[in-house]
Chains A and B, each alone.
Chain A
Amino acid sequence: MMKHTLKLAGAAGLAFFAALPAWAQTAVAAAPVATVNKGDTAWMMTSTILVLMMILPGLALFYGGLTRTKNMLSVMTQIGAVAALTMLVWVMWGYTMAFGPDYTSGLSNVVSSFGKLFLSGVTPASQAATFTPGTEIPEYVFISFQMTFAAITIALVLGSLVERIKFSAVMVFALVWLTIVYFPIAHMVWAASGYFFKLGALDFAGGTVVHINAGVSALVAALIIGKRVGYPTERMAPHSLTLVMVGTGLLWVGWFGFNAGSALEANGSAGLAMINTFVATASAGLFWMLAERVAGHKGSALGFCSGIIAGLVAVTPAAGNSGPFGAIVLGAVASIVCFVFVTIVKPKLGYDDSLDAFGIHGIGGMVGAIGTAVVYAPSLGGPGAADYAMGAKLLVQLEAVGATIVWAAIGTTIAMFIAKAVTGGRVSPEVEAEGLDLGEHGERAYNY
């Protein structure tokens, strides 16, 4: 199932036809006026706020706990501030770029027009389509829901940059990155005129838009900003696994807004996304610990939390596109692949993706996006039609993943170089040693 087609033009057209008596009867008979369902609307408003909970406090605590004591506050501040910035940018030019009126040219494959700049023309009466013809939700709710996706995606990218990037650089990077990377990719995947949407790429809740996009961007940004001083020889163990666990729990709960909310209605598809978000995640959490045991270590709390996130990421594109058993397998596979990547491949390559934004979101997202083509098959319990052609869909998924990687990598490079040029990018070695809490914000996370 795809995500979204805006029907505002249709609604406006209907109103126009209704005003002309000669057309009124045929128009009404052909397509009854779409109505807003209050139950769907209530669920979508709840989902929107659940996704906000994933950012603050969820991701802020998850990422913050993984850093050292001296940088806890800077991580939470960066996440909160980019989320707030995204909300402002989204209503100003983000929404119209991703979901605004289509260009008539080929540009509509990549981005929408600026026809809804500053949300012009949107009123409480405006409606956005769901997947059921005739059932819609208020456009303001859809705008808010999508806004939280943009906000968490840029916040995820920061995971590879923490403990060394200037706060000002984070803000400039976020501004440019959202504009040239996130909005176009969101349009390509989720808008009816978007390139991947037209290809038939499956991305239920943002595996490509959010996780592959954020993960690849994180890797590229980490390579540009450079390693933390002392990495990997100095001790950089997480300062509070307690908070990591709290953050993980909040992310898991919030993810139901992310995944089950992406059905855009309170219906069976949302229910399927919900159960998949339970079982894929449970499977991934346990399989990471199992992988630790097989590798000769102890099953760890951080491993459990890492597995939970890997499972959530992997099931995101598949949430409504898989049966529960497909989701269990997908969670397990993603967990093991991410484990191998984070514990074996990353140390070998030697780059400093500090909190494994690429290792878990990027890699888990790719496993999920490609795996979705497999678990979609009805023979494996997925919701695909009986004549579902897995091979063809697999190619489409690979194409969407590949194109997202290229787009994100190029866009991130541009955004990082602009941020570096404007702000200098990295804090001084003194500030890095003393910690970004004091150096960048003049506060400490903990005053004992």
Chain B
Amino acid sequence: MKLVIAIIKPFKLDEVREALTEIGVAGMTVTEVKGFGRQKGQTEIYRGAEYSTNMVPKIKIEIVCASDLAARVVETVQAAANTGAIGDGKIFVLDVGQAVRIRTGETDQTAL
């Protein structure tokens, strides 16, 4: 199993979710996060006092899927979240050791 973590632009969330549902992803966890990369942040101005906020709001999506689906998931997210502009985000893929469905006790792929 693989854990795919994608950091994307917030307004791309719906498109990414739809695309992932189409390729058979059954669930995901979404978190509102802040961070920065090459897109350095933004400036706020209150009565002439400038505050540069170095953190930009982003959405973090976490998807656990079967190992053979991981490549398609990455591909799909990459395509759906792409705007071509700076700050589109990043995707990370990690190995997952175990999965358990709390209600039934099912494990690993049947638990996804």
Contacts and interface: CB of A to CB of B under 8 A. Distances in A.
B47 A232 contact: no
A236 B49 CA distance: 9
Contacts of A344: 48
A422 to B, nearest CB: 33
Interface residues of A, number: 17
A152 to B, nearest CB: 21
B47 A235 contact: no
Nearest to B48: A343
Nearest to A300: B45
Interface string B45-75: 1111101000000000000000000000000
Interface in A212-232: 232
Contacts of A237: 44, 46, 49, 51
A230 to B, nearest CB: 12
A127 interface: no
Interface residues of B, number: 7
* Residues of B contacting A: mostly: strand
A356 to B, nearest CB: 6
Contacts of A342: 47-48
A302 interface: yes
Contacts of A302: 46-47
A48 B46 CA distance: 33
Interface in A284-331: 297-298, 300, 302-303, 306
A238 interface: yes
Contacts of B51: 235, 237
Contacts, number: 25
Contacts of A236: 49
Interface string A329-358: 000000000000011101100000000100
- Give the interface centre of B44, B48, B51 by most chain A CB atoms within 10 Å: B48
Contact of A232 (B44, B45, B49): B49
A344 B48 CA distance: 7
A85 to B, nearest CB: 29
A196 B48 CA distance: 36
Contacts of A300: 45-46
Interface string B32-54: 00000000000011111101000
B49 A356 contact: no
A356 B49 CA distance: 12
A255 B106 CA distance: 68
B46 A297 contact: no
Interface string A159-170: 000000000000
A297 B45 CA distance: 8
Contacts of A306: 47
A347 B45 CA distance: 13
- Give the interface centre of B47, B48, B51 by most chain A CB atoms within 10 Å: B47
Nearest to A306: B47
A347 B46 contact: no
A298 B43 CA distance: 11
A298 B45 CA distance: 9
B47 A303 contact: yes
Contacts of A297: 45
Nearest to B53: A235
Given A232-B49, A342-B48, A343-B48, 20 more contacts: A235-B51, A236-B49, A237-B44, A237-B46, A237-B49, A237-B51, A238-B46, A297-B45, A300-B45, A300-B46, A302-B46, A302-B47, A306-B47, A342-B47, A343-B47, A344-B48, A346-B48, A347-B48, A347-B49, A356-B47
22 contacts: A232-B49, A236-B49, A237-B44, A237-B46, A237-B49, A237-B51, A238-B46, A298-B45, A300-B45, A302-B46, A302-B47, A303-B47, A306-B47, A342-B47, A342-B48, A343-B47, A343-B48, A344-B48, A346-B48, A347-B48, A347-B49, A356-B47
6 smallest beta-carbon distances between A and B, as pairs: A343-B48, A235-B51, A237-B46, A297-B45, A342-B47, A237-B51
Interface of B: 44-49, 51
